[in-house]
């Protein structure tokens, strides 16, 4: 089962990046090319009936599997970056997360109005990051088609922030 393989691979780092946070480190997954392929295949299976035009991946860990998945599905990839990194005209959104606050942005020409965008990130915690990404997509007149996560920290109830953007929320490993 993909969920068990993911849970076996990832590790918990206590008190990172701040005291009181148990950080879910996904980097061991990246050393296992079979597991990486199986994760992409599991997402492909989950998404087989979903209609969408492009995948938006969130810096930085959302880039890892977001681009692999977009490439596998022959769809464009849209990088959502932390403020100040994208060189062209951008649209911005601020947000809070488990251990701080930040601003994300996207290139103003990343997609056309009406495009259906699947949002991908490695992990759903409070949902602040993907909520901000959803607001960014809506600012640009895009439609949020759904969400994919490798890991979901269900006890933080991040899904509550997402349901009004899209009910299509796919999480491979839940805690
Ligand atoms: O659901 P939330 O509470 O918003 O938290 C989840 C976000 O936090 C982490 O990113 P982080 O900002 O640490 O950046 P990184 O991917 O560059 O490590 C993770 O990759 C998600 O993007
Ligand atoms: N506990 C956590 N582990 C890894 N990434 C995170 N992003 C937000 N909370 C996190």
Q: What are the structural domains, with CATH classification, of the chain? A: 50-174 (3.40.50.2020)
Torsion on CA atoms 172, 77, 37, 63, rounded to nearest 10:
-70
CB of 97 closer than 6 angstroms to any ligand 2 atom: yes
Which residues, at least 6 apart from 132, have a Cβ–Cβ distance to it below 8 Å?
Answer: 93, 94, 95, 104
7 SS3 class:
helix
Q: Among the bound ligands, name the one nearest to the CA of residue 161.
A: 1
Map tokens 């009004």 to a residue. 164
Q: Among the bound ligands, name the one nearest to the CA of residue 157.
A: 1
Residues of the chain with pLDDT > 90, as a percent, come to 95
Pocket test for ligand 2, best of 19, 62, 98 (most atoms within 8 A of CB): 98
Each residue of 54-69: pLDDT tens digit? Answer: 999 999 999 999 999 9
Each residue of 105-152: pLDDT tens digit? Answer: 999 999 999 999 999 999 999 999 999 999 999 999 999 999 999 999
CB of 58 closer than 6 angstroms to any ligand 1 atom: yes
Task: Note the pTM of the prediction, 2 decimals.
Answer: 0.97
Q: Among the bound ligands, name the one nearest to the CA of residue 11.
A: 2
Beta partners for 171?
Answer: 149
Q: Is 18 exposed, middle or buried (0-12, 13-18, 19+ CB in 10 A)?
A: exposed
Distance from the CA of 117 to the center of ligand 1, in angstroms?
19
Question: Is residue 23 over pLDDT 90?
Answer: yes
Enter the tokens of residue 107. 């290139």
- Residue 163's pLDDT is what? 93
Which residues, at least 6 apart from 151, have a Cβ–Cβ distance to it below 8 Å?
Answer: 6, 10, 24, 26, 122, 123, 124, 171, 172, 173, 174, 175
Distance from the CA of 125 to the center of ligand 2, in angstroms?
6
């Amino acid at each position: 089962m993909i969920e068990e393989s993911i849970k076996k691979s990832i590790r918990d780092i206590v008190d990172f990046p701040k005291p009181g946070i148990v950080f879910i480190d996904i980097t061991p997954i990246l050393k296992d090319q079979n597991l990486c392929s199986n994760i992409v295949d599991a997402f492909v299976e989950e998404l087989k009936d979903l209609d969408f035009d492009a995948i938006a991946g969130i810096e930085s860990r959302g880039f890892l599997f977001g681009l692999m998945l977009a490439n596998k599905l022959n769809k464009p990839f849209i990088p959502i970056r932390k403020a100040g990194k994208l060189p062209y005209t951008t649209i911005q959104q601020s947000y809070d997360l488990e251990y701080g606050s930040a601003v994300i942005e996207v290139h103003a020409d990343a997609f056309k109005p009406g495009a259906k965008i699947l949002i991908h990130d490695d992990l759903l915690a409070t949902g602040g990051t993907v909520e901000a990404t959803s607001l960014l997509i809506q600012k640009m007149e895009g439609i949020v088609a759904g969400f994919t996560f490798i890991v979901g920290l269900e006890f933080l109830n991040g899904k509550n922030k997402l349901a009004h953007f899209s009910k299509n929320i796919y999480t491979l490993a839940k805690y």
